[in-house]
Amino acid sequence: MREVQKTREEWQQELTGQQCFVLFEKGTERPFSHPYNDNKEEGTYVCAACGTPLFSSETKYDSGSGWPSFFMPVAKDNVEEIVDKSHGMTRTEVVCRTCGGHLGHVFNDGPKPTGLRYCMNGAALKFHKAE
């Protein structure tokens, strides 16, 4: 059971169509289409649906994939990893532990120190600039 649970209609009233598509239909935005891919400001990326802190700008890097990429979450307990066998392949899906929103996938081809690449959809995130 998720800490934040809402109906599809409630999410549609709070989020854009693109955010609903990505977060609750497990959609994917086009690569290089979201401004967060190129964002270099300091701050924290949170879940666009529920506001749970997910990633720090300190762990963001340019993976060349076209999606905002991070080598680790703010707190491992804030995300959940789920085996995803859709689209004829096996990947690891990353969802927000608080609301269950689909964020993207994690891969084992990232930089040190973790070797991980959390490849996230910008539409699933909101950015809070550091003060």
Q: Which residues are annotated as a binding site?
A: 47, 50, 96, 99
Q: Which residues are annotated as a binding site for Zn(2+)?
A: 47, 50, 96, 99
Q: Which of 74, 119, 120, 124 is catalytic?
A: 119
Q: What tokens were used for 120?
A: 């996230």
Closest CA to 53 of 131, 119, 127, 122: 127
Residues forming beta bridges with residue 125, ordered by sequence position: 47
Query: Is 119 assigned a catalytic role?
Result: yes
d(CA 70, CA 120): 8
102 class by beta-carbon count within 10 Å (0-12 exposed, 13-18 middle, 19+ buried): buried
d(CA 73, CA 114): 11
Residue written as token pair 């973790």 = 114
Residues annotated as catalytic (active site), given as ranges: 119
